[in-house]
Chains A and B, each alone.
Chain A
Amino acid sequence: MGAAVATEPREMRVVYAETLVRLAENSADIVILEADLMKASATGIFQKRFPERAFNIGVAEANMVGIAAGLSASGKIPFAASFTCFASRRAYDQFFISCNYAGLNVKLVGTDPGIAAEYNGGTHMCFEDLGLMRNVPGLVVFEPCDPVSLAALVERAAAHRGCTYLRLHRKPIRPIYPDGEAFELGRGKVLRDGGDVTLVATGAIMVPEALAAAERLASDGVSAAVIDMHTVKPIDRDLVLEYARKTRGFVSCENHQIVNGLGSAMAEVLCEGCPRPLRRVGIRDEFGEVGTLDYLKARYRLTAGVIADEAHAVLKG
């Protein structure tokens, strides 16, 4: 990482939309679909630039994802977005059958994942989508943590031949990576090296918490590595196993159920490849509820403090 990291937070949704516009300028096949949440996704700029390639289907997520399948079968590369809860839970069968089973090329996007749903509350608070999507054969599932990785990974997703699922934080996020940093789907990033314990995080809420936890651990005399596991499927097996050999154990950090998300994926890799203690920070078999981000972080124990405590627990054995 040679270049300087920008300090100003950028709205992730704007980065998403601008990236799509850029891609569409170079490829006539890029199309977008929205389900009455175009304002929320900020893709109005795409619609303005390419009105004939933007489809706002109305409040009809299953219909939207089915239409995306048809567009894909016509050679288009559709990006279809809604809130995470509706993109995943509501349109799962359409995504599963019409898009994935049919072997097509649909890029599904779920916005406001997990506690980012904040004031929309429990009905909109999706802690299950990584699990649902991880179960779809061959699907690429990813959750970028900052504007730089978001732009790069959306480009990768567009170039990938096959369906992808993007878990998209919409709000302003401070860059972690320098401009121009390269990313590959399926390849995690080591944000900080360490020799005692490895914190593996995904997404714009948990990666910064993991970095803050590593700082706390450092002041406790613990050397913690931090990995940004932006792609949850396929998980970067080699990287996990490398740190299984380098450090004494892991903490997984996800804004998602601990069941069948990042922590589960890591447990699978570790048990099969190099057993090491793993403690999972995430939602523990609960539904969502309404509140501010700070309230929800504390309520569901998704904080740097909890991550640091879990890291100590890993090291105690």
Chain B
Amino acid sequence: MIGEGELRELKRKAREVRVLTLDALGHLGVGHVGGALSVVEVLTILYYRHMRVDPSAPRMAGRDKLVLSKGHAGPALYSVLADKGFFPREWLRTLNQGGTSLPSHCDMRRTPGIDMTTGSLGQGVSASIGLALGNRLNGDAGTVFLIIGDGESNEGQVWEGAMCAAHYRLGNLIGFMDYNHMQIDGYTRDIMDIEAPEDKWAAFGWFAQRVDGHDFRALDAAIERAKAETSRPSMIVMDTVKGKGAYFAEDNVGNHNMKVDEAMAAEAIRRLMGEAL
């Protein structure tokens, strides 16, 4: 159970991650605001409480790994990795500039701390299964974490992986579905309805849970329960808000890949800093 002090610290970190992400996107002028901001809490709790990683040895054997299969949320993960010290914070403002080490989609060849290249939706699911099988073969005790989108879950590959990971009883694989109820063209219920995702994952043989993806204590409890499941993979469906924390993005179906100028970013940051933790 997360104590009061740690809860405050996690909230402070999440706010910091949002600030860094908004700053980078605002500096560039455009980006995947919505899907980056909806996964901030899960990234924060993973990197600041659960994952065993070493910023000075990003490829350390035995580490826990993350596959951010909705690779367009890269900017949020970059903020976490920079804050953890995987690379200098100054890199954040190079997002998407020619020659950058921080491209819009996660790239394991360019960015220290990125465990898998993603961006073509659905593919990270299979890659995470390969990593989990690899850990088993290597006698590596690390856990593989996976984050997918709800729109991403339209891809057949997601469900090929769902069947496969259950077949191989991958207890070392813990997935999260960022159920922010939006994809690019609109609400998931209008474009391709996926309700109720937790039932689908359970039917495929996964240990499935559904929690509030912005509630650290709920997330933490779900992760602990998932870790206790050693003979089947876990899926934690997180109800989230696309664009969470940016006044101009929340409740805006145009928030997938949107223009953000420096003034908008600065105002969003000002409001975030003004909120009580």
Contacts and interface: CB of A to CB of B under 8 A. Distances in A.
Interface residues of A, number: 30
Contacts of B31: 119
A85 interface: yes
A289 B118 CA distance: 13
Nearest to A289: B103
Contact of B105 (A38, A86, A123): A123
B231 interface: no
B88 interface: no
Contacts of B191: 36, 56, 58
Given A85-B120, A86-B120, A121 B98 contact: no
A119 B104 contact: yes
B139 interface: no
B154 A59 contact: yes
Interface in A41-86: 56-60, 62-63, 85-86
A85 B98 CA distance: 20
B72 to A, nearest CB: 8
B180 to A, nearest CB: 14
Interface in B176-197: 183-185, 191-192
Interface residues of B, number: 29
Given A292-B98, A299-B98, A57 B103 contact: no
A62 B156 contact: yes
Contacts of B228: none
A37 B118 contact: no
Nearest to B105: A123
Contacts of B192: 36, 56-60
B84 to A, nearest CB: 23
B233 interface: no
A201 interface: no
B190 to A, nearest CB: 9
Interface in B121-136: 121-122
A190 to B, nearest CB: 35
A186 interface: no
Interface string A209-249: 00000000000000000000000000000000000000000
Nearest to A41: B185
Contact of B120 (A56, A123, A296): A123
A81 B100 CA distance: 30
A122 to B, nearest CB: 6
A131 B160 CA distance: 28
Given A63-B156, A119-B30, A123-B105, A291 B185 contact: no
Interface of A: 34-40, 56-60, 62-63, 85-86, 90, 119-124, 289-292, 295-296, 299
> Which 9 pairs, one residue from A and one from B, show the smallest C-beta to C-beta distance?
A123-B119, A58-B192, A58-B154, A295-B98, A291-B98, A290-B103, A121-B103, A59-B154, A60-B154
26 contacts: A36-B154, A36-B183, A36-B185, A36-B191, A37-B184, A37-B185, A38-B185, A56-B192, A57-B192, A59-B121, A59-B151, A59-B155, A59-B183, A86-B120, A121-B96, A121-B103, A121-B104, A121-B105, A121-B107, A121-B119, A122-B119, A124-B119, A289-B103, A290-B98, A291-B98, A299-B98
